[in-house]
Homo-oligomer: A and B are copies of this chain.
Amino acid sequence: MSKLPSLKNLSYLLALHQHQNFNRAAQACNVSQSTLSSGIQNLEEQLGCQLIERDHKSFLFTGMGEEVVEQARQILTSTEELLYFAQSQGKIMEGPLRLGCIPTIAPFLLGDLTKKLKAEHPKLQLSIREDTTVNLLHLLRNGELDVLVLALPVDLQGNQSYVLGRDPFKLVMHSSLAEKLAEPVQYNQLPDNSIFLLEKEHCLTGHAVSACELADSSKINPFTATSLHSLVQMADAGLGATFIPQMAIDRGILSGTDLVALQPSGQQASREIGLIYRPTTNRRTTFRKLAECIAQLLPEPLLK
């Protein structure tokens, strides 16, 4: 069996892939440019194939190079996890944990979650990143985040998940508009263009539309908002109705408004909340514990 590539050389390759420049990559690795350069050559020799095409002056990763980067990333992440695991003496709820969360969940979950974690697992150092689903999945894959809280269903791209619970949608509108409506609200009771939603980047939009069977409805106003809070403002100004998740209502997003929350029609007018992690992780027990913590904070926990 030929000799295994060294983790060091693999990390050089990753740095090069990230910076696309030998000097900057070398700096990032705290080695000289010559070291990194020969490290890469070394790696190519050991693997017996070309990883980057040298085009004088510049270079380009080959298809194989990209593939190797992908796999090397996984190996290095696992090794870092091993190191971390050993150094923290196997205390699974201690040390750093980098969590990503979408904007339609974060403000209504993370406050309580950090409070709970601080009480139950004071040595856990939670860092939080709020971003869209696609960006978070990318960061997870790159090893820059450990775990994500997303709304399901979503293309997991090979990641694994715990389903944490269900979060019902409510149809929110000004109390004066709600008076003449019967629950569950049939959308044909509403005027055209009277339902406001978030920008399509937010998965909440898609989930609400499909869960509430609203596809292509003329009821939807083409103007889109950028946050739940602005949706609430618009509804409170009497512009129309909107969908707000129960989590947000429970955390008081409607307080101080004249809005009421009604049950929308649609079989299962809700979204699921899931915890997503790399299939290659070896911190499953940590994530499982975290999943249990989060599930307890959801309107309808259903963690198996």
| Interface residues, chain A, with chain B CB atoms under 8 Å away | 1-2, 4-7, 11, 46-49, 63-64, 67-68, 70-72, 74-76, 78-83, 85-87, 89-90, 160, 279-280, 282
Contacts and interface: CB of A to CB of B under 8 A. Distances in A.
B64 A89 contact: yes
B87 A49 contact: yes
Contacts of A2: 83, 87
A1 B6 CA distance: 18
Contacts of A70: 282
A1 B143 CA distance: 15
A89 to B, nearest CB: 6
A282 B85 CA distance: 23
A297 B54 CA distance: 46
Contact of A7 (B7, B160, B279): B7
Contacts of A86: 47-49, 64, 68
Contact of A64 (B1, B68, B75, B90): B90
A7 to B, nearest CB: 5
A80 B68 CA distance: 12
Contacts of A5: 79, 82-83
A77 B110 CA distance: 37
Given A47-B83, A47-B87, A71 B282 contact: yes
A89 B49 contact: yes
A75 B78 contact: yes
Per CB-CB distance, the 5 closest pairs between chain A and chain B, nearest first, are: A47-B86, A71-B82, A48-B87, A75-B78, A71-B282
B279 A279 contact: yes
